[in-house]
Structure 1
Amino acid sequence: MWTAASRAFVGEVGAGQALSDDQYRLLAPLIPPPKPGGRPRTTDLRQLLDGLFYLVRTGCPWRHLPRPPTFLPWSTVDGNFRTFLAAASPSLR
């Protein structure tokens, strides 16, 4: 369970804008599973979604996503977004 201390990574940039537990529970089933036979997923998907929603809210370019520990590296967020997009719509590969 998240506490005020565990949300500290959001900092001043997105204070109070991290996903709540209820919001994440709604979104978790929509996240594509990891590829079979691959390495275990190590990316914190909740933090990844926080980064994606920050980009949508602010309209900032990918490379202007605030650096860790505020959010994951922009390249991680971008790469996972493209993976999710390809899983949702195979014609976009």
Structure 2
Amino acid sequence: MRGDLTDEEWAIIGSLLPPERGRWSRPAQDNRLFLNGMLYVLRVSCPWRDMHERYGKWNSVYVRFRRWAEQGVWDALLETLVELGLTVTGRSVPP
């Protein structure tokens, strides 16, 4: 789908995300699908409940988003991308 991570982007980001393990967790290979769902919500500025069903159950994606936030995954991911020179720094995001 338009806006989803390319294979090149996923090759960089995929290994930076934690594996999802546990009795109720979905397998880590769903990380790409879930991340694309998270990016979709951010890109179109819709409520989680309106996330496109292509990405799975909205609540499952939201729960993983919150868990990653609580675990510091987003901060670590951004820090790594900055260190790799893969982000634009010093510019504000356009309105």
What range is the shorter-chain TM-score in? 0.5 to 0.7
Identity %: 31
- What's the TM-score, normalizing by structure 1? 0.65
| RMSD between superposed Cα atoms in Å | 2.0
Q: Which of 37, 41, 44 is equivalent to 1:55?
A: 41
RCO comparison, higher one (Cα < 8 Å, 6+): 1
Q: C-alpha distance in 2, partners of 1:79/1:49? A: 12
Contact 1:32 1:87 in 2 (8 A): no
Q: Which residue of 2 aligns with 1:84?
A: 68
Structure 2 length as normaliser, TM-score? 0.64
1:86, CA displacement in angstroms?
A: 1.1
1:31 aligned to 2:17?
yes
Unaligned runs of 5+ in 2: 74-95
Q: Which runs of 5+ in 1 are unaligned?
A: 1-14
Letter in 2 for 1:45: N
